[in-house]
Every structure is written in structure tokens, then in C-alpha cells.
Amino acid sequence: MKKQIRRPHQLSSVSKGNASKVFAHIFRNGKITQREISTTTGLSFTTVTSVVSRLEKIGVVKRTLESSTNGGRPAALYGCNPGYRHVIGVEARKDKLFVVVSDLEGTVLSRTTLPFDKKIGKDGFLTVLVDAVDEQIKKFKGKQSTFLGVGVGVAGLVNPNDGSVTMLSHLANWGTIQLKDVMEKRFRLKISVHNLAAAAALGELRYGSGKGKGNFLLLNVTDGVGGGIVLNSRLYTGISGTAGEFGHISVDDHGPVCTCGNIGCLETLTSVPALVQNARRALSQGITSAIKDIAGGDPDAVTFQVLLDAARLEDKLAYNLFTDVGRYLGEGIVSLVNLLNPEMIIIGGDLVQAGDLILNPVNDVLKRQALEVPRRSVEVVFSQLGDSASALGSAVPLIEDFVGSPLDD
């Protein structure tokens, strides 16, 4: 009888399972000895040495020698080789794209910002997106095979079943876009689509302020107010994939009408456009402020940056406007803290640039209004990843998939 030769891709499921187990352990724990891997995974030392040797041979694991503190033989430590595979991550806002290429450990190797005019419409937007990704792939010429896929964090409601996106109506009236489908056909790579705030939460969980935290909420405050919920170290997306729309918590019965039809939603009072709008209104009512001078006397020329500059000059109107935003944000956060008892609230998005102008009133309101027990366990911090949070986070599921099956890709 002809003896069957087992090719590398025909490894037994047990062998693949062991490889996944060992690699996931190495990936999550950093540099580690084979003895430690054996003890913590329960696999025999012989199995571990055989699997590690194979992972090292294909290049996904790297060995380093570290000198022992007691003068003995240097220990061989095994860690992930972060450059073995790469991912592309995109954050698609209403008027710009942030595109990053990162390695398996989230180190950004390339980054571009690409503004666009939303008048380009749905098809124009898809062209800009596809071209931006294509440009990054071309930069890594000859290394296309190292890309695991493309993650996209987008300002819209994402259908988790088919990766289609309904853009938020106040950003673009484009209806539903078959985003995943279009990208898959174009690139023949895995495509992972998320709401941009949910993607930012994944980014913070893996690489940023939420690292090592099992239960936290992220509020992304830029053009609107989006959110991401991490419970028991996993992103909670809800039954239809839309969980985390914190921007539509009602905080003022007499507030402005929101795009969702309700009145006084958090988003209508704390988003960056709302802040700028309030400043313009105050100036048109004749309030004296350095804001007007910085904007060259034209209320319509007021931007978020102008408000930040005025606040740095200790302008009273700018200070009051930021304080109001912080207070309303604080009220929304009180509801979230009382409801979910998280260990951390991460504020991300452009509003982070206002620093303590926002954080101080948020903490004041939290201290005054939240229930004491959940308040004592929660900390409010800013995103550590800045503009890269959503782009990096949107690609995290692609890396997770790879870690679960390093020999399949």
C-alpha cells in the first residue's frame, strides 16, 4: 500500500489545535520559556518543544536568549514575531479617512490621513476608501501576502451579519452601503467592519487605556457621540449590532432637537459641532470674547481649534462652553456608571484635546450625582491611542482570528 505523505498544510487537527494553543499563549504572555508554556497549558514538555520548534521555523515565533540573574545558563525565551503578519485599519469619518498599517502587536508602521468632501456621494466614498487601502498595500510591495486583512471602523450602524453599513443620516444621506462585500471583492482579503466607536473600544482593549481591564466603556466625541461597551473583556454589540449609541441618552428636556428626533440628546450638547455652534450663537448675541478676535471677527470662522486657543488664553466664554460640555457629558456618564458599574470610562475622539477643561467638570458631576459604590470603583481617563484608536481597533478581530489558527493563514 502506498504510504501517505503528510504535507505541512495537512497537519492533524490535534497538531493544529496544539499549535494554536501554544501560539495564543505566547502571543498573550510575551516572552516565556517552553517549561512555563508546558506548565500553564498542560501540554507535555515534548509536545511544547515540538510545536514551538515548528512555529519558530515558519517564523511566527522568535527566540531570544536572556542571561540568567544567578550566573547560570541563559534562558531561551519565546515571543511572537510581530512582523510575521500585518493588518490595515481604517477609520472612516464624515469627511476624512485615517488609514494605518500595523504589525501583530499594534505597532503603526504607516499612517495616512485623507480628507474628502462628503458631496462625492456613496460611490465616491467607496472609491476614496478602496484607493487609500490600495495605496498602503502598494507601499508594502512584495509583501502583500503578509496582510491578514482590512478592518474598517465607520461612522454608521453596522449590520454584523453582512458587514453592510447604514451611514448616520446627519453625516451622509447615503442609505446602506455593502461595505464588506465591495472590499472583499476588490482585495480578496478578510474584511472586518465595525462602528468606529466600537472599533476604538477594541483598540483601547488591546493596546490602550483599556489593556488589562475587563469592563469599560468608551465614549468617542467628535462629529457625534458614539460608544463602545466592553464587558468581561469582550465587545458587547447587542442583538442588532448597535449597542453603545450613548449619544442618544437624553440629558436635557429643553435641549435642541436631535437627528434621531428626540430632544436634548447628549450628542446635541457635547459633540464638537454642537460646541462650535454654541460659540457662534453666543458671539452673535454680542458676548465679548477673545474667540471673536482669534476668528478674525467672523463668528462663522470659529472652529474647534479657535475655541481651544481661546481657552488657553483663559477666555471666559471658551471656558464656560467647555465646562458646559463637560457637565452634560458627566450627566451621561453618571447614567452609564449607575447602569453598568464599569471600572473605567475612556473618553476618545477630538474632544480629548480639551483635557482638564472637560475632565474636571465630568468628575465633579460624577462625584455629586453617581451612586457611591459604582462611583468609587470607576476612573475616567482619556484615550491613549488618539486618532489611531478606531483604525487600529477595527483590525483587532483579524489578529484574533490569526492567533486562533496561526498555521491556517
Distance of closest approach, residue 152 Cβ to Zn ion, in angstroms: 24
Residue nearer to Zn ion on the CB measure, 136 or 220: 220
Q: Which amino acid is at 394?
A: S
- Report the site for Zn ion in 227-266 (rule: CB under 5 A): 248, 258, 260, 262, 265
Answer yes or no whether residue 274 interacts with Zn ion by CB under 5 A.
Answer: no
Distance of closest approach, residue 332 Cβ to Zn ion, in angstroms: 12
Distance of closest approach, residue 20 Cβ to Zn ion, in angstroms: 43
Residue nearer to Zn ion on the CB measure, 266 or 403: 266
Answer yes or no whether residue 223 interacts with Zn ion by CB under 5 A.
Answer: no
Residue (of 265, 263, 295) closest to 282 by Cα position = 295
Binding mask 86-125 for Zn ion (x = CB under 5 A): ----------------------------------------
Do 358 and 319 touch, CB atoms closer than 8 A? no
Residue nearer to Zn ion on the CB measure, 201 or 265: 265
Residue nearer to Zn ion on the CB measure, 21 or 248: 248
Residue nearer to Zn ion on the CB measure, 204 or 267: 267
Q: How many residues bind Zn ion (CB under 5 A)?
A: 5
The grid cell for 88 is 490595515
Residue nearer to Zn ion on the CB measure, 269 or 392: 269
Answer yes or no whether residue 206 interacts with Zn ion by CB under 5 A.
Answer: no
Alpha carbons within 13 A on the beta-carbon side of 353: 15
> What order do you get walking across the sheet with 379-382 strand by strand?
234-236, 225-231, 216-221, 344-348, 379-382
Residues 6+ apart with CB under 8 A from 187: 133, 134, 137, 150
Residue nearer to Zn ion on the CB measure, 265 or 345: 265
Q: Distance from CA of residue 375 to its chain's centroid?
A: 25
Distance of closest approach, residue 250 Cβ to Zn ion, in angstroms: 8
Q: b vs e for 232-249, b when ≥16 Cβ sit within 10 Å of the residue's Cβ?
A: eeebbbeeebebbbbbbb
Give, rounded to a whole angstrom, the gap between the first and last alpha carbons of the chain: 33
Distance of closest approach, residue 267 Cβ to Zn ion, in angstroms: 6
Distance of closest approach, residue 393 Cβ to Zn ion, in angstroms: 24
Answer yes or no whether residue 157 interacts with Zn ion by CB under 5 A.
Answer: no
Give SS3 for 201: helix
- Report the site for Zn ion in 295-324 (rule: CB under 5 A): none
- How far apart CA 174 and CA 339 sit, in angstroms, is 34
Residue nearer to Zn ion on the CB measure, 160 or 255: 255
Distance of closest approach, residue 345 Cβ to Zn ion, in angstroms: 20
Handedness of CA 90, 91, 94, 96 (dihedral sign): negative
Do 239 and 218 touch, CB atoms closer than 8 A? no
Q: Distance from CA of residue 270 to its chain's centroid?
A: 20
Answer yes or no whether residue 152 interacts with Zn ion by CB under 5 A.
Answer: no
Binding mask 127-146 for Zn ion (x = CB under 5 A): --------------------
Q: b vs e for 377-393, b when ≥16 Cβ sit within 10 Å of the residue's Cβ?
A: ebebbbbbbebbbbbbb
Distance of closest approach, residue 219 Cβ to Zn ion, in angstroms: 15
Point out which residues bind Zn ion (CB under 5 A): 248, 258, 260, 262, 265
